[in-house]
Amino acid sequence: NFAIDNDIAYLYNYDYTTKSSSIKVFDVQTETVLRENFITDGTKITTPYGINVNPYNGNVYITDAYNYTVTGDVLCFNSQGKLQFRLNGVGINPNTIVFSNKASLPGGNEEQPETSSAFANKVWEYTPAPGQFINTATSAYKEGFTAGQVLAYADEQIKKRSLLSLGGFGGSIMLGFDHTVKNIAGAYDFKIYGNAHEGSSEPGIVLVSKDINNNGLPDDTWYELAGSEYHSDKIIRGYEITYYRPVP
């Protein structure tokens, strides 16, 4: 990862021998390293994920993805490598920063509706299948957790808009909203992130249901949404996998 500002480049460097990382300051004209470590005030970054230079003032923004499973931070440094401010919990794997030459202030219109309810806020069921990230921080499981504790922790993670792994084939999660998701013809009604990166997407089967009987429970009829390949003759339906745990 790197960023260039006029003749100065900021280069992310990772040493696999010492398992340490740094951001070097490099002069592209003279082809010399000006500073081995850009950060000069001792600020620690766990997993540098993005480097961006503000074209209007030269400040350097570095994103910290931590362990790729929790919400990361954005740190702003001046060109001397001293921390100016930090924005915590901006999103999972933050790597894109957009700059504007127009100033803005925090706060907002009191009449603007609350937007937090735009996200699912309830986990009714969480049954992940075996997978590489199961029993890690991304699967809502901690040592000694009961099924109820796993569900409660999954609910907590969803409310924090964090990541939950469904494992391999067969893993599923049932989410609830505190409001009706409107079906608007020709528009996107809701979005599901599943490794939403080019070459790494993991699409799944999505079903929706409406609380017709108004009892607040997910016990009404469910309908499968027809995805892009729903009508393809290459689709295999009724596919089954039986997992088993071999004796050590």
104 compared with 29, residue with greater pLDDT: 29
pLDDT bracket for residue 48 (50, 70, 90):
confident
Q: What stretch of H or E contains 152?
A: helix 147-159
Mean pLDDT of the region 190-210? 81
Token duo for residue 73: 């931070």
Mean pLDDT of the region 182-195? 84
DSSP letter for each residue of 78-123:
-TTS-EEEEEEEEEES-------SS---S---TTSPP-GGGS--EE
Q: Is 230 helix (H, G, I), strand (E, B) or coil?
A: coil
pLDDT tops 80 at residue 3: yes
126-146 tens-digit pLDDT? 999 999 888 877 788 888 899
Token duo for residue 4: 């260039």
Q: Is 224 helix (H, G, I), strand (E, B) or coil?
A: strand
pTM flag (> 0.75): no
Mean pLDDT of the region 212-216? 93
